[in-house]
Amino acid sequence: MIRSLVVLLVALLCGACVIPDARDGRDTRGAEVNDSVRRGLSERAAHPDQLLSYADRVRPDIDDPRLAAELELAVARALRELGRPLSAKLSLQRAWAHVEPSAAGLGGEIQLEWAELEHRTAQRDRARTRWQELLRRPGLSASSRDQALAGLAASYEMSGDAASARAWRRKLGSGSALQLAAARRRLQTSKRPAPQLVVRANTSIPTDPRELLAEIHPRASWGAQPLRPNHGAMDPIQAITVHHTAMARPRPGLGGATMRSIQSYHQDVRNWADIGYHFLIDPEGGIWEGRALRVQGAHAGSDKNRGNVGVCLMGNFDEASVPAAQAQALDRLLDTLRARFSLGASDVFPHSRFKLTACPGRSLSVIVGAYRGA
């Protein structure tokens, strides 16, 4: 008996006996899932719409932070190709949140994409600053370094600053012509820009919100109460103001019920003619018609409501981040309203622009600032 125990002990010490680890199976399965996701992203890289659908499907299954960052980077590139710069920036923010700030490889790719996206959206100074900061980071790969240098050279060249372009081009060395040509292509406006509506006069306010976007849920769909008499007509539209409800995020499928609740509070407690906002967006990205667009809103404060479209996102964005679907719906709605009423990005404001308030919350304020190019 003692001899048997001694033999077993020696075997264990010599590594002859290996106790299986239950985690091995999980690790293997995790690696298989990761490889499958990477293949799926690679296969769909040339088809942005397919890639976005695929990403939505596999995102819940990803536990590996690096793979999550790779997925969000791929999503950002797809959104950029589809002409959705705000949504692309949000995806880059999510990608960056998954990597260590010091990450030289994937972190560098994210920063390069971010700089190029900023350049394509007329934020050239910010793009150049990002490229230069990236060049100062230790451990930057040679390919990322060359891409940043080429971006700087192409950026100054496209701005007509030949001297600065030459200075950055000299740092590239051999192969600079090919790298510059590639950078110019990347910095050009998307080959497939977002579809634009025909710009019409400010007085062309549709009676049916689905003339703006077919996806909008009209008032009748959520059982809106009638407009009360104490209201005024909308002035020519000159601004859009973004708010949050500052309430807990409604559960999925309760967008209509939330609309009725807000309208009841505004009409019965605050004695307003109707719900104060013209449009509301639920966490799943559903866009709801609030107060009819032909009627002046009650959201920015007294005379600030004149000619001002109120857009409100359901949720408290001092306490939570904005869901991707909700942010993308905001992007679509803002683009559509701006095209319809000939407004610039600088005509889109956070509520805090007009009143001493935390509205629309920290995370949504960042998104509005990015949209404005601030």
**What's the whole-number mean pLDDT along residues 241-254?**
91
Cβ contacts of 355 within 8 Å, gap of 6 or more? 300, 301, 304
- Helix (H) or strand (E) holding 349, with range, is strand 348-350
- The CATH code for residues 209-372 is 3.40.80.10
Residue 143 CA to residue 219 CA, distance in Å, equals 53
Give the list of residues 6+ apart from residue 109 with CB closer than 8 angstroms, or none. Answer: 73, 144
DSSP string for residues in 140-180: --HHHHHHHHHHHHHHHHHTT-HHHHHHHHHHH-TTHHHHH
Position 176 confidence tier, pLDDT thresholds 50, 70, 90: low
pLDDT at position 314 is: 96
DSSP string, 201-214: -TT---SSGGGT-T
CA-CA distance, 61 to 78, in Å (whole number)?
Answer: 20
- What is the mean pLDDT of the segment spanning 15-19? 39
Q: What percent of the chain has pLDDT above 90?
A: 29
Contact 147, 179 (CB under 8 A): yes
Name the maximum alpha-carbon separation found in the chain: 99
Q: When comparing pLDDT for 316 and 144, which is higher? A: 316
Cβ within 8 Å of residue 214, ≥6 positions away: none
Nearest alpha-carbon partner for 186 in 80, 279, 290: 80
pLDDT of res. 11:
43
Measured between alpha carbons, how far is 5 from 236 in angstroms, rounded to an integer? Answer: 92
Arithmetic mean of pLDDT over the chain: 82
Q: What would the mean pLDDT of 48-72 be, rounded to a whole number?
A: 84
Determine the distance from the C-alpha atom of residue 365 to the mean position of all C-alpha atoms in its chain, rounded to a whole number: 13
Q: Is the pLDDT of residue 222 over 90?
A: yes
Provide φ and ψ at 66, rounded to 5°: -65, -45
Question: Hey, where are the domains in the chain?
Answer: 31-187, 209-372
CATH 1.25.40.10 fits 31-187, yes or no: yes
pLDDT mean over 87-114: 77
pLDDT in tens, 276-315: 999 999 999 999 999 999 999 999 987 789 899 999 999 9
Mean pLDDT in residue range 153-171: 89
Reported as type and span, the H/E element at residue 287 is strand 287-289
- Which residue's structure tokens are 């080959």? 191
Q: State the average pLDDT over residues 160-188.
A: 82
How confident is the model over 20-25, as a mean pLDDT? Answer: 42
Residue 86: the pLDDT is 67
225 pLDDT band (50/70/90 cuts)?
Answer: very high
Dist. CA 127–CA 94, nearest whole Å: 19
Are 31-187 and 209-372 the same fold in CATH? no
